[in-house]
Amino acid sequence: MNEIRLPNLAESYMTGYANSLALGQQVQEQRNRNALAELLPQHGAAAMQGDPEAMNALLAAGPQGLQAVNVLHGMYNDGRRIDQAERQIGQTDERIGLAREQFRVSREQSRREMEIALRDLDLRENIAGLEAEAEEGKRIAAQLVGIRSPEDWASTGREILGDNWRPWDQRGVIIGGLTGEIEAVESAIGGGSASMSDRTTNLPSGAYWNDPNDPTKGYTYGTPSNPEGAPQDPNARETKITDYMSTLGADRATAIKLADGQYDMTQDGLVVDRTTGQVIQPAAGGVQGQPGPTNVEASDAFDDTNVEGALGFSGMGAGIINTLFDSIGVGQPSARIDRGAQMLDSLATRTVQTLSAEWPGRPSNLTREMIDELTVRPGQIATGRDRARNKIANMRREIERAMQSAQRVIDNPGSYNAQERQAARSAMDGLVPLLEDYKALDEALNSGSGQPQTSGRTSSGIEWSVN
């Protein structure tokens, strides 16, 4: 016969009781977590700084509240120690920056003194050479003064100058212009006090005359005395025309007149007629309206942001809290700090891209390591307000030097080709707004707009405050 086992009532009761206790404990823990989620936006920031009332409010949430208080208080103490270290680092950075600037000024002064010494040396050498040339010119002129006929002029000239006679075969104009004895030479060959046009009228066809008042001008006899009449290298002329068309956006007719000297470009970037002074067109590729480093205004990039709150240890903590609350759908308690952090991230990316561009004369010290060292990023534990301001000051100096180097390329079409000047213009297009944003960032930190928030509202409408 099978034995029928009756249930042990006492055992069943104890099992049910234990399950009830465990379930109740889970319910209570969930209630504590819910309460903590409601209390943190109101009292979290104050509890982090050790406020007794805020800490008691969080402790009401049970063990979870105690754990939160311990974590927040520990973060606050760590943050104070780090802030103190940041201030010391900032002071050290400032001293290093001053020493670096003093070294740069000293090096620049030494370079200028060396340039002056070299110029003096070159000048002394040039003077000695010019004196020798002047003596030789006077000797030759003295021999030529005694010439009485064109035939004697040619034979004597070839005898004195040999293979160099051809460019001097101009009836004394050049000799007289170089030595100051033009009237004596003309008198010797019967020129008298004739005008310059008379001097060139009866000379051999195709001969070449140099204006003694301007050795850079050279005209064929019988042609008008203007730059358009001077012979030019066709290849060099065509290169100038192409260059004007590509850099100024000018049509070919305008470019031709620029190359031939009929039109000129002013410092304001305007193409004007040299004869009438009439403005033909704005120079599209010129530097008109391009601001220099000293007159760049601050942008509004950091308006309505809390930049200082996004820096250092507090910035890292605010970022964690913003991310946590945003992820659970209750909104960010420090939205202005988050906007400041996003603007700093964007500015850091643009800084690397802009200063890494290439153009002729780009400062050689703009290495990736130096750019990273001077870039301010949010949530960096070792970068507080003071150190950030030091970095910004150094970065602004580097950007201004980069702008000056690019502007030198733009302003010197004779030394750089169209492609090189276009690279410099592209660099300026990025450097100007970059400097504007760094000025805005500096002003945001100087104005105190980055002071920590004491109250606010999350994006979901939950109000919070620090008592």
Listing DSSP states for 97-137 in one string gives: HHHHHHHHHHHHHHHHHHHHHHHHHHHHHHHHHHHHHHHHH
**Euclidean distance between the first and final Cα of the chain, in Å?**
78
Per-residue pLDDT of 424-442, as tens digits, reads 999 999 999 999 999 988 8
Residue with tokens 């109000």: 463
- Which residue would you say has higher pLDDT here, 409 or 197? 409
CB 409 within 8 A of CB 419: no
CA distance 322 to 267: 53
Residue 324 has pLDDT above 70, yes or no: no
pLDDT computed for residue 80 by the predictor: 72
> Minimum mean pLDDT among 7-21, 145-159, 198-212, 423-437: which range?
198-212
Once rounded to an integer, what is the mean pLDDT over residues 19-26?
A: 66
Q: Where is average pLDDT lowest: 106-110, 219-223, 271-275? A: 219-223
Return the domain boundaries, the chain: 145-225, 234-282, 297-452
H or E stretch at 456 = strand 455-457
- pLDDT-derived band of residue 185, with 50, 70 and 90 as boundaries? very low
> What pLDDT does 314 receive?
73
Residue 361 phi, psi (nearest 5)? 80, 10
Percentage of the chain beyond pLDDT 90 is: 5
Please give the pLDDT value at position 438: 92
CA dihedral 245, 248, 249, 255 (to 10 degrees): -40
Helix, strand counts (H, E) of the chain: 14, 7
Contact 32, 64 (CB under 8 A): yes
> What is d(CA 371, CA 133) in angstroms, rounded to the nearest whole number?
54
Average pLDDT over the chain reads 69
Sign of CA dihedral 235, 223, 244, 418: positive
Query: In this prediction, what percent of the chain has a pLDDT beyond 70?
Result: 47
Is the pLDDT at 285 greater than 60? The verdict is no
Distances (CA, A) of 27 to 16, 21, 33: 16, 10, 10
Mean pLDDT of 66-72: 69
**Whole-angstrom distance, CA of residue 50 vs CA of residue 58:** 12
Does pLDDT of 15 surpass 80? no
- Given a contact cutoff of 8 angstroms between Cβ atoms, the answer to whether 331 and 459 are in contact is yes
pLDDT of the residue at 112: 78
Q: Per-residue DSSP letters for 297-355?
A: PP-STTTT--TGGGSHHHHHHHHHHHHHHHHTTS--TTHHHHHHHHHHHHHHHHHHHHH
91 pLDDT exceeds 70? yes
Mean pLDDT of 443-463: 56
Q: For position 459, what pLDDT does the model report?
A: 46
pLDDT confidence of residue 304: 82
Q: What is the pLDDT of residue 209?
A: 43
The more confidently predicted of residues 426 and 58 is: 426
